[in-house]
């Protein structure tokens, strides 16, 4: 049993308050309440973000690396730098700081972050403060730090989303920032029109609600035997408040159950006992085939909703996300969790949850955007028919958002996704992005998406600089493209392998990173492990698009696939959705004519793969293929050759006055001479030499084994 904490003397209380307050610039920082105050403005940040700010404030002017922040504050999870970016973004949002012209937190590219504002700490009075920081059981931190899981950032970070599931799934403990105990009375539900033999359904629902709500911390659940009766329901809130006051309860949960024609309607209402204010209500109309499954669904939704409504901080976050409906909010967060797993099945689950959130709140713009982004990512791993279906879904989402929120940033983002899905509108997209960036106030995704175009055009150096300037997104904002993922695309093989393995710790079923690890292991000559990761990729890649590519690369590197043998013919026997891989394998093996034929016949909806994957695939092509006029001609024919590369170079030149980014020397030389730059311009000669060495070693290793 924990010993009680000794009460503080007045002097000790003052000392404690001073120890946990100081100033950063014109903001007062309160560690105890996780609050930033400037005059009449008070902004709360999450405990994790406050930890990061305090760490930076301990060494103002010094650079704190991503790795140090991850090690100090994300131990026990498997986050990427993305977790740190989100915390920094929240702090900048709270401080009103501009990432491009900072007054508080400066990003030091490829190194970390530095607090550049002045830190002013008050003097601590001469008193014994030991009791402030120590209890008989040892050191204590301010209670707020251990009280909250960062739910806002959890929606954008998969590891934190795992914690989120523990918060919102029934049967788990929900932690509140409230110090007082909330007393909630759950009255017996009214049985409307049910047969007496089905009374167990009404009673069972109420018992399940009591059980689920009892697991919410800082809550005392009362279960009185007397409830309302049917003819009192018109005055339900008033009478419920009377019962609540009699029970000395803060809130009263009451409702009714009725069945008709194979369906069940459950109405749930929450009333504040002090004044009878109706705080929350929800109606469920569901088929009755599976009573127990139905009961679980209702209990899950109600418990999650009440955990929001009875927690002021969580309620504010729900409103920030753009909904007043707690059921929609809870379903949206589940969608965010599955979205961040990055596997086709999980993208579908995410879409289902986002759509379910829209059923609860048809005006929930962030949920529409969630559907579009999940569908967009799912399409990357899909066959043409599924891409067509997803394109139609995104088009319908775009029409609906245009109707309800024509000025929303989400609408512009969804339109960008629509264009990407077509596979033929990259020139239009580039023109729009260039115009947005030249305006000086582009949407959050603009810099990152332009970087993606640059990566595909082998302009890695410039892409890296665009990613450095890509906006970090604060809580509740429309996310840009996945900057953390794009960075891995421009790394040399050894760094890419380490990065991809790290991402798989956070997202173990990420179908793209499974393939990246598999092919890079093969490149390193570790074919046994490569096959293990390929097997995992096959399990999650339902349409087989990426697994087919990984299989071809591993077979090529191992020497098991050669022109005309059975393994080669097996790869080529797949349908036309796999033409990209079939052409790429032919190019790897030096068969330019066959490769050109396959790429000319890539289905329109699969053409997007050219922009996403070709730049990475070319590192396996012989120089003779890259320099072959037939290869360069087919790229030009597919709108992905020298004209496209020069267009992007001209875009960089035109935007330099705004971005400060200029062409690299190798890109300037290629542009001036009118030649096609067939190798990325970021890797060093040593990187390229290592790649060639590893390719040779891999093939020789397999020959020895044979």
Query: pLDDT higher for 187 or 319?
Result: 187
Distances (CA, A) of 4 to 135, 137, 217, 423: 8, 9, 19, 65
Q: What percent of the chain has pLDDT over 70?
A: 80
pTM of the prediction? 0.68
Query: pLDDT higher for 312 or 302?
Result: 302
What local confidence, expressed as pLDDT, does residue 591 receive? Answer: 97
Rounded CA gap, 170 and 160, in Å? 18
Query: pLDDT higher for 149 or 25?
Result: 25
Distances (CA, A) of 391 to 145, 329, 378, 579: 44, 25, 11, 21
Regarding the domain delimited by 10-147, which CATH topology (the fold level of the hierarchy) does it fall under?
Arc Repressor Mutant, subunit A (1.10.10)
Regarding the domain delimited by 178-309, which CATH topology (the fold level of the hierarchy) does it fall under?
Rossmann fold (3.40.50)
φ and ψ at residue 542, rounded to 5 degrees:
-65, -40
Candidate from 91-105, 394-408, 525-539 with smallest mean pLDDT: 91-105
Instruction: Write out pLDDT tens, residues 6-29.
Output: 343 444 444 444 456 899 999 999
Write the CB contacts of 634 (distance below 8 Å, at least 6 apart in sequence).
595, 596, 599, 600, 641
**Tokens at 646, concatenated:** 């020069």
Domain ranges of the chain: 10-147, 178-309
Query: pLDDT higher for 203 or 217?
Result: 203
Question: Which of 91-105 are b and which e, b meaning 16 or more Cβ less than 10 Å from the residue's Cβ?
Answer: bbbbbebeeeebebb
Instruction: Write out pLDDT tens, residues 47-93.
Output: 778 889 999 999 999 999 878 888 888 754 444 555 677 788 788 88
CB 550 within 8 A of CB 519: yes
Q: How many CA within 13 A on the CB side of residue 419?
A: 16
Q: pLDDT band at 231, cuts 50/70/90?
A: low
- Whether the per-residue pLDDT at 38 is higher than 70: the answer is yes
What local confidence, expressed as pLDDT, does residue 204 receive? Answer: 80
Spatial CA neighbour of 164 closest among 393, 332, 337: 337
Which own/partner contact pairs does 484-488 have at CB distance under 8 Å and 24+ positions apart?
Answer: 484/80, 484/81, 484/82, 484/85, 485/512, 486/448, 486/451, 486/452, 486/455, 488/513, 488/516
CB 236 within 8 A of CB 228: yes
Rounded CA gap, 224 and 214, in Å? 14
Rounded CA gap, 474 and 92, in Å? 8
């Amino acid at each position: 049993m924990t010993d009680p904490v000794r009460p503080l003397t007045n002097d000790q209380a003052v000392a404690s308050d001073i120890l946990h307050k100081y100033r950063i610039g014109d903001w007062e920082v309160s560690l105890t309440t996780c609050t930033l105050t400037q005059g009449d403005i008070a902004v709360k940040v999450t405990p994790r973000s406050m930890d990061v700010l305090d760490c930076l404030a301990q060494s103002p002017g010094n650079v704190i690396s991503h790795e140090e922040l991850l090690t100090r504050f994300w131990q026990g999870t498997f986050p990427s730098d993305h977790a740190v970016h989100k915390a920094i973004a929240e702090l900048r949002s709270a401080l009103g700081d501009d990432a491009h012209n900072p007054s508080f937190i400066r990003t030091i590219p490829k190194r970390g972050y530095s607090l550049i504002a002045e830190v002013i700490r008050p003097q601590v009075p001469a008193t014994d403060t030991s009791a402030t920081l120590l209890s008989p059981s040892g050191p204590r931190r301010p209670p707020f730090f251990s009280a909250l899981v960062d739910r806002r950032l959890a929606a954008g970070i998969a590891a934190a989303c795992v914690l989120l599931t523990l918060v919102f799934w029934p049967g788990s403990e929900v932690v509140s920032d409230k110090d007082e105990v909330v007393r909630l009375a759950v009255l017996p539900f009214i049985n409307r029109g049910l047969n007496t033999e089905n009374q167990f359904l009404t009673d069972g629902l109420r018992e399940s609600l009591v059980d689920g709500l009892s697991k919410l911390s800082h809550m005392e659940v009362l279960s009185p035997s007397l409830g309302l009766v049917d003819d009192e329901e018109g005055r339900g809130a008033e009478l419920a408040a009377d019962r609540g006051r009699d029970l000395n309860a803060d809130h009263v949960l009451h409702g009714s159950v009725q069945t008709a024609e194979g369906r069940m309607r459950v109405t749930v209402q929450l009333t504040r006992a002090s004044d009878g204010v109706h705080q929350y209500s929800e109606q469920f109309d569901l088929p009755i085939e599976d009573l127990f499954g139905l009961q679980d669904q209702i209990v899950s939704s109600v418990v999650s909703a009440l955990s929001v409504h009875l927690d002021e901080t969580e309620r504010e976050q729900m409103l920030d996300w753009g909904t007043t409906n707690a059921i929609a909010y809870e379903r949206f967060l589940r969608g965010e969790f599955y979205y961040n797993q990055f596997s086709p099945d999980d993208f579908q689950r995410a879409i289902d949850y986002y759509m379910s959130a829209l059923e609860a709140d048809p005006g929930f713009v962030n949920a529409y955007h969630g559907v579009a982004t999940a569908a967009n990512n799912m399409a990357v791993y899909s066959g043409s028919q599924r891409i067509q279906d997803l394109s139609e879904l995104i088009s319908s989402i775009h029409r609906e958002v245009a109707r309800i929120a024509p000025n929303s940033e989400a609408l512009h983002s969804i339109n960008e996704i629509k264009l990407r899905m077509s596979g033929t509108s990259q020139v239009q997209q580039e023109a729009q992005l260039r115009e947005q960036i030249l305006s000086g106030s582009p949407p959050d995704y603009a810099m990152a998406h332009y970087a993606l175009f640059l990566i595909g055009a082998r302009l890695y150096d410039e892409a890296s600089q665009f990613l450095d300037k890509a906006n970090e997104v604060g809580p509740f904002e429309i996310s840009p493209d996945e900057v953390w993922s794009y960075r891995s695309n421009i790394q040399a093989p050894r760094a890419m392998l380490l990065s991809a393995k790290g991402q798989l710790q956070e997202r173990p079923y990420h179908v793209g990173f499974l393939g990246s690890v598999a092919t890079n292991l093969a490149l390193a000559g570790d074919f046994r492990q490569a096959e293990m990761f390929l097997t995992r990729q096959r399990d999650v890649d339902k349409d087989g698009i990426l697994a087919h590519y990984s299989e071809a690369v591993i077979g090529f590197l191992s020497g098991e696939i050669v022109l005309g043998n059975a393994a080669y013919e097996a790869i080529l026997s797949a349908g036309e959705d796999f033409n990209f891989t079939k052409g790429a394998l032919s190019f790897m093996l030096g068969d330019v004519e066959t490769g050109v034929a396959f790429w000319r016949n890539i289905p329109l909806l699969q053409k997007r793969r050219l922009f996403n994957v070709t730049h990475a695939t070319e590192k396996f092509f012989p120089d003779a293929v890259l320099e072959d006029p037939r290869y360069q001609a087919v790229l030009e024919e597919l709108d992905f050759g020298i004209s496209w590369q020069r267009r992007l170079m001209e875009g960089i030149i035109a935007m330099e006055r705004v971005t400060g980014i200029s062409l690299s020397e190798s890109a300037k030389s290629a542009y001036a001479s009118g030649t096609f730059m067939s190798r990325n311009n970021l890797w060093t000669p040593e990187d390229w030499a290592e790649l060639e060495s590893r390719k040779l070693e891999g093939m020789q290793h397999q020959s020895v084994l044979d």
